């Protein structure tokens, strides 16, 4: 049990920095996009910031994920950050701009996944074999892919749900938006039943890793020609 606990603590130390960056830039990107499209709510609340403390929810970001991770021996992880306040009615074109505001968060995670992937390839290309650095880069890719895919789930109030509402015709959009007050409980039930993992997370994460691998292939070929074949 002591060794298991030690391994979990080591895992948390490796994931700490990537998770903080993933959450901070995800939330800040929502606020930045909202301001870009006419809503200053997040800006006035100080949420367009690279300070993690402005986005961390003590219970949802720290206590809950760590407790769940320990209790399940790393088999399950769930948490959340403070949502960035957005007044969608204040956007220049609310229904259309809602899509871009929602996509900004997952987009920030995709960008970070690419950067962590580049860092990983560069470390390998330079012959750096420090385990902590290598594992942190791998964790950075993994965390950001998870966060991107998870948030794109087409269920309000997830980012994917906002995108869905923005894309649907008005009548259908209004029907889907009414789910939002119950969305968290629906999501939790789907998570516990394993449906989100099996039918959404696993297929889209596999696709994301394949695309990232293809994107990084030219750099890998330049630095590690033997591994690029």
Task: Walk along the chain (229 residues) and give the pLDDT tens digit of each residue.
Answer: 444 667 777 887 898 899 889 999 999 999 999 999 999 999 999 999 888 888 888 877 777 777 766 665 555 566 678 889 999 999 999 999 999 999 999 999 999 999 999 999 999 988 888 999 999 999 999 999 999 999 999 999 899 999 999 999 999 999 999 999 999 899 889 988 889 989 999 999 999 999 999 999 999 998 877 664 4
Please name which of 190, 129, 128 lies closest in space to residue 154, comparing C-alpha atoms: 190
């Amino acid at each position: 049990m002591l060794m298991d606990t030690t391994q979990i603590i080591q895992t948390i130390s490796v994931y700490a920095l990537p998770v903080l960056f993933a959450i901070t830039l995800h939330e800040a990107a929502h606020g930045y996009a909202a301001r870009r499209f006419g809503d200053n709510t997040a800006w006035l609340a100080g949420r367009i910031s690279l300070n993690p403390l402005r986005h961390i929810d003590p219970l949802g970001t720290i206590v809950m994920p760590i407790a769940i991770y320990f209790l399940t021996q790393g088999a399950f992880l769930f948490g959340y950050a403070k949502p960035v306040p957005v007044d969608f009615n204040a956007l220049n074109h609310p229904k259309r701009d809602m899509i871009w505001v929602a996509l900004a968060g997952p987009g920030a995670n995709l960008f970070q996944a690419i950067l962590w992937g580049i860092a990983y390839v560069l470390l390998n290309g330079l012959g750096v074999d420090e385990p902590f650095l290598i594992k942190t880069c791998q964790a950075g890719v993994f965390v950001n892919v998870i966060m991107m895919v998870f948030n794109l789930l087409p269920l309000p109030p997830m980012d994917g749900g906002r995108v869905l509402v923005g894309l649907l015709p008005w009548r259908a959009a209004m029907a889907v938006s009414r789910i939002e007050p119950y969305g968290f409980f629906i999501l939790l039930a789907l998570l516990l039943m394993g449906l989100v993992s099996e039918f959404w997370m696993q297929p889209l994460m596999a696709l994301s890793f394949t695309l990232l691998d293809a994107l990084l292939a030219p750099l890998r070929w330049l630095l590690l020609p033997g591994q690029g074949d």
